[in-house]
Structure 1
Amino acid sequence: MRFHTRKWVKPEDLNPNGTLFGGKLLAWIDEELALYTIVQLENARIVTKYMSEINFRSSAKQGDIIEIGIDVIKFGTTSITLKCEARNMMTRETIISIDQTTMVNVDEHGKPKPHGKTSIEFVKDRL
């Protein structure tokens, strides 16, 4: 799995228990999946269609650095399906795993639009 981004757990990210609020982590993940999809499909109009079971496996505390990793499972005609994991960068302990998230490429009217992609592309290879 390729880990693409890091987030620093700050006081405003904590729940009343003093650990990372799950909703904050899910927002970070959804944003990272959207950014990854925008780059892969070369379209800024992307929506999250589906997210499978979310498995919270451990927690994080203030000061921890979280890494978010993504792997492509498959390319559909109008979508891309991704696997995601967030882990503690220092301990490598998995905090959350999501087996499948489907991101859909849409047109200016919000309707699914074919993207024509069949494999991962790296920006450096497009230049």
Structure 2
Amino acid sequence: MMKRIMVVEDNDLNRKLFCDVLKANGFEVEPVADGGKVLEMARAVLPDLIIMDIQLPGISGVELIEAARRDHALREIPVLAVTAFAAKGDEDRIRSAGASGYLAKPVSISPFMNAVKALLPG
């Protein structure tokens, strides 16, 4: 069965790039631009992995990761945080919120796909 990945990214170009790369690698993708719809969409599609931008308008990706970890239906889904936040301590803060992986933008395709594959179950 094809693995489903939810891509949470408000930047249209980044979202399209991530989705195109994932589709080219045989994944099904669920793009989400609106941070306010992330948890509802995740519960509806139950993806195998969530790729989460941290800087979203109106809500922080860190808050969404924490909320997903508290949600019984979502807590086991790995989250790959992808962010322009790359200051000292940011990775620790994002991982302590519950992110399973962390990549700093700009992201190269090879490390991106390696991180995705490392976090997918089975």
Structure with the higher fraction of residues in helix conformation: 2
Which of the pair has the greater relative contact order for Cα pairs under 8 Å at 6+ separation?
1
Structure with the higher fraction of residues in strand conformation: 1
Q: TM-score, normalised by structure 2?
A: 0.22
Q: TM-score, normalised by structure 1?
A: 0.21
